[in-house]
């Protein structure tokens, strides 16, 4: 999707005959040339070139573990003779109670007071949330009696989740509460999260995380665990399942894996002109070019649309030239679909009082582009509004008759 929309952005920025210079950064340069070609249709030039010192690559310097650069400590845990749920209950309860027996001032306890629990799915998160108030609470009582300290329990307000289920307006409130420090009663005790936490959550006081199972990709694992130990020492416990072969493999190679963590980052495939992507957004590319480079940006300009306009043909040729550079095998298919889209727009434009228009939605009529969840009366082409979620919501009703 990103690569497909980059086609429009590049053409708009190059409308006056000069292509823009694109500067990008990345956590890994593995297959960078191939990916940059697919995204931007350009050759990549790394800057600066690798230096003479392996410990200083300009982008990063190797640092010793000191008070100024504490880093994170990773701990791998896998049960033997116990179920994963039992191990999760015991590990979570031990981490909860460990803060109470920690012989340290409040400012140190605060860094481990909020336990971040990273789940790979909503199902795992729901299960974790239910055991906090039952099994974890019970085992915390056992630990408190064993160590002779007060048991630490959670109120409903002390457990929060950061997932796609949370309303958008509530997310800033949760992020604000994460900055509240111990011993305040408003400090969050447990934060249950999915991959939504991987980007944009920069809370310095977070220092404790439990990861339930090895995430699908190394990049996801790095991004998620980097939410803790950003300024102060961090502690990450990864709980592996003994019944999952992938988890067992990561546990057996735990030390070697973490010693070369960034080397294990998997390069993602970039296919901006593949059939599924074209189905979702190629029409948006064509309509954007018509609106911005043909000057048909007003609502009433749809009736002026001319499928045989030389300028339009030149724009389509530029799109196909880009496809030729990125993925020549998809050039003919892309041409066929673009011609179909242009034909559809032309047919709509020729119908008097069709009710459709090129501009944004207004009180009456329908736009050519509509949101995925809107019905046909709102527009003609269903168009994703987000790079992350491109599917429309659907509801399932069960008929027991």
Residue 246: CATH number of its domain? 3.40.50.300
% of the chain surpassing 90 pLDDT: 39
Same domain, 123 and 193: yes
> Pick from 255, 260, 225: which is nearest to 71 by CA?
225
Instruction: Classify residue 69: in a domain, yes or no.
Output: no
pLDDT tens for 109-142 read 999 999 999 999 888 998 998 898 888 888 888 8
Looking at the domain assignment, is residue 38 inside a domain? no
Quick one: 254 and 305 in the same domain?
Answer: no
Same domain, residue pair 274 and 254: no
- Which of 264, 287, 306 is the C-terminal boundary of a domain? 264
Q: Are 236 and 211 in contact (CB under 8 A)?
A: yes
Span 146-179, pLDDT tens digits: 877 777 766 666 889 998 888 888 888 999 999 9
Which pLDDT score is estimated for 373? 74
Shared domain for 181 and 226, answered yes or no, is: yes
Q: Are residues 16 and 123 in the same domain?
A: no
* Number of structural domains found in the chain: 2
What per-residue confidence (pLDDT) applies to 390?
Answer: 45
Q: What domain range is 110 assigned to? A: 79-264
pLDDT at 69 over 60: yes
Exposure class string for 93-104: b at 16+ Cβ within 10 A, else e: bebbbbbeeeee
Residues 245, 345: one domain?
no
Residue 229 pLDDT > 70? yes
Query: For residue 386, is pLDDT > 80?
Result: no
Three-state DSSP state, 361 = coil
Judge if 259 and 317 occupy the same domain.
no
User: Which tokens is 111 given?
Assistant: 């860094």
When pLDDT is averaged across residues 19-31 and rounded to a whole number, the result is: 79
188-215, pLDDT tens digit by residue? 999 999 988 887 788 899 999 999 999 9
**pLDDT at 226 exceeding the cut of 80:** yes
Residues 211 and 278 in one domain: no
40-44, 55-59, 72-76: range with lowest mean pLDDT = 55-59
For residue 387, being part of any structural domain is answered with no
pLDDT of residue 185: 84
pLDDT digits over 250-295, tens only?
999 999 999 888 888 887 788 999 999 999 899 999 999 998 898 8
Domain closes at, from 209, 243, 264:
264
* pLDDT tens, residue by residue, 291-300: 889 888 777 7
* Greater model confidence, 104 or 371: 104
For residues 222 and 265, the answer to whether their CB atoms sit within 8 Å is yes
Residues 6+ apart with CB under 8 A from 77: 87, 91, 237, 238, 239, 240
Separation between Cα atoms, residue 3 and residue 34, nearest integer Å: 12
49 falls within a domain: no
In a domain, 54, yes or no: no
Listed residues 201, 235, 264: the one ending a domain = 264
Radius of gyration for the chain, computed over Cα atoms and rounded to the nearest angstrom: 27
Task: Classify residue 250 as exposed, middle or buried by CB count within 10 Å of its CB (0-12, 13-18, 19+).
Answer: buried
With respect to residue 221, please indicate whether it lies within any of the assigned structural domains.
yes
CB-count exposure of residue 89 (10 Å: 0-12, 13-18, 19+): buried
Q: So what's the pLDDT on residue 198?
A: 81
pTM (whole model) above 0.85: no
Q: Evaluate whether residue 127 is within a structural domain.
A: yes
Distance CA 261, CA 221 (A): 9
Q: Residue 363 falls within a domain, yes or no?
A: yes
Question: What are the pLDDT digits (tens) for 326-377?
Answer: 999 999 999 999 999 999 988 888 775 555 666 555 555 677 888 777 777 7
pLDDT band, residue 184 (cuts 50/70/90): confident
Q: What is the 3-state secondary structure (H, E, C) of 205-224?
A: CCCEEEEECCCCCHHHHHHH
374 versus 229: the higher-pLDDT residue is: 229
- What is the rounded average pLDDT for all residues in the chain? 85
pLDDT at 315: 93
Same domain, 159 and 108: yes
Assess whether 133 and 193 both reside in one domain.
yes
Identify whether residues 302 and 232 lie together within a single domain: no
pLDDT surpasses 70 at 31: yes
Q: How far is CA 32 from CA 51, 129, 260, in A?
A: 19, 40, 19
Judge if 146 and 288 occupy the same domain: no
Cis peptide bond prior to 221, omega within 30° of 0? no
């Amino acid at each position: 999707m990103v690569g497909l929309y980059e086609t429009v952005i590049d053409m708009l920025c190059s409308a006056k005959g000069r292509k823009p210079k694109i500067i990008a950064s990345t956590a890994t340069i593995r297959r960078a040339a191939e990916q940059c070609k697919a995204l931007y249709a350009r050759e990549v030039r790394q800057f600066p070139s690798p230096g003479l010192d392996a410990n200083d690559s300009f982008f990063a310097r190797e640092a010793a573990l000191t008070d100024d650069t504490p880093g994170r400590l990773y701990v791998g845990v896998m049960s033997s003779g116990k179920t994963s749920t039992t191990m999760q209950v015991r590990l979570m309860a031990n981490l909860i109670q460990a803060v109470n027996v920690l012989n340290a001032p409040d400012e140190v306890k605060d860094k481990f007071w909020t336990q971040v629990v990273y789940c790979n799915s909503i199902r795992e998160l729901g299960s974790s949330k239910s055991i906090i108030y039952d099994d974890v609470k019970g085992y915390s009582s056992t630990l408190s009696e064993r160590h002779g300290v007060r048991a630490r329990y959670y109120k409903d307000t002390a457990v929060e989740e950061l997932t796609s289920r949370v309303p958008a307006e509530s997310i800033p409130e949760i992020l604000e509460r994460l900055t509240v420090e111990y011993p305040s009663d408003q400090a969050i005790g447990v934060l249950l999260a999915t991959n939504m936490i991987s980007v944009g959550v920069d809370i310095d006081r977070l220092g404790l995380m439990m990861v339930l199972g090895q995430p699908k990709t190394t990049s996801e694992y790095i991004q998620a665990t980097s939410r803790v130990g950003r300024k102060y020492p961090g502690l990450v416990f990864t709980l592996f399942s003994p019944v999952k072969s992938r988890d067992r493999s990561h546990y057996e190679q735990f030390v070697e894996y973490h010693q070369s963590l960034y080397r294990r980052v998997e390069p993602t495939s970039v296919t901006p002109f593949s059939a599924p992507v074209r189905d979702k957004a190629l029409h948006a590319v064509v309509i954007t070019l018509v609106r911005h480079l043909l000057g048909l940006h007003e609502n009433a300009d749809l009736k002026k649309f001319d499928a045989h306009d030389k300028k339009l043909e030149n724009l389509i040729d530029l799109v196909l030239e880009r496809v030729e550079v990125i993925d020549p095998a998809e050039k003919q298919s892309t041409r066929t679909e673009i011609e179909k889209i242009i034909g559809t727009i032309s047919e709509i434009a020729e119908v008097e009082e069709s009710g459709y228009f090129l501009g944004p939605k207004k009180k009456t009529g329908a736009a050519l582009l509509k949101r995925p969840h809107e019905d046909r009366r709102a527009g003609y082409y269903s168009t994703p509004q987000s790079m992350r979620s491109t599917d429309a919501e659907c509801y399932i009703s069960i008929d027991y008759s």
